[in-house]
Amino acid sequence: MEYREASVSDLKGILNVYSQINPEEKQLSPDKAGEIWKKIEANPGYKYFVAVDNGKVVSTCNISIIPNLTRQGRSFGVIENVGTDIAYRKKGLGKAVVGMAIDYARKKDCYKILLLSSLKRTGSHIFYEKIGFNGNSKKGFEMRLSQGLKAKGC
């Protein structure tokens, strides 16, 4: 198993893992994914990490490092899109790729890392707590943005 920062050659494999997490969602076209990947590569605070088995991406996550004006100017990280191929789950691969993201945040002198998980993914909650995330320290909020809708009070 190879663990490393992702490159454009991993893009198709990353998308395949994500198609297992959200099978109802239409997969990005290769052209659109390539355009987005160029933006990712241009942003030094945004990284994808992968576990690769014989050339196949089997686990991935990403992290965004966000500059901050509190906490003595220390940044914070946001981990998103953690996913592991169904055939490779429960083998420590998710822990390894999330660990790489955590290490990256430490190198960037982040004071904390945020991570959101769907309320219905209780198995994922247990996984995140086992690797050190606290699901009870904050309350997360989200607003799904759709074309044509305006936020209440805005």
- Model pLDDT, residue 13: 96
Mean pLDDT of 5-9: 96
For residues 147 and 59, which has the higher predicted lDDT (pLDDT)? 59
Q: Which domain holds residue 115?
A: 2-130
- Model pLDDT, residue 22: 85
In a domain, 148, yes or no: no
One-letter amino acid at 100 equals M
CATH for 98 = 3.40.630.30
Mean pLDDT of 1-23: 95
3-state secondary structure of 127: helix
DSSP string, 99-112: HHHHHHHHHTT-SE
In a domain, 135, yes or no: no
Contacts 24+ apart (CB under 8 A), 3-7: 3/49, 3/50, 3/51, 3/52, 3/96, 3/97, 3/100, 4/49, 4/50, 4/52, 4/100, 5/47, 5/48, 5/49, 5/50, 5/100, 6/47, 6/48, 6/49, 6/50, 6/57, 6/60
* Number of continuous H segments (helices) and E segments (strands) in the chain: 4, 5
- Model pLDDT, residue 153: 59
- Model pLDDT, residue 147: 59
3-state secondary structure of 49: strand
Q: Is the pTM of this model over 0.75?
A: yes
* pLDDT class of 154 with cuts at 50, 70, 90: low
- pLDDT digit string, tens, across residues 84-143: 999 999 999 999 999 999 999 999 999 999 998 888 888 888 899 999 999 889 888 888
Domains identified in the chain, total number: 1
In a domain, 24, yes or no: yes
- pLDDT digit string, tens, across residues 34-92: 999 999 999 999 999 999 999 999 999 999 999 999 999 999 999 999 999 999 999 99
In a domain, 86, yes or no: yes
In a domain, 31, yes or no: yes
Q: Are 119 and 140 in contact (CB under 8 A)?
A: no
DSSP state of 29: P
In a domain, 101, yes or no: yes
- Model pLDDT, residue 49: 98
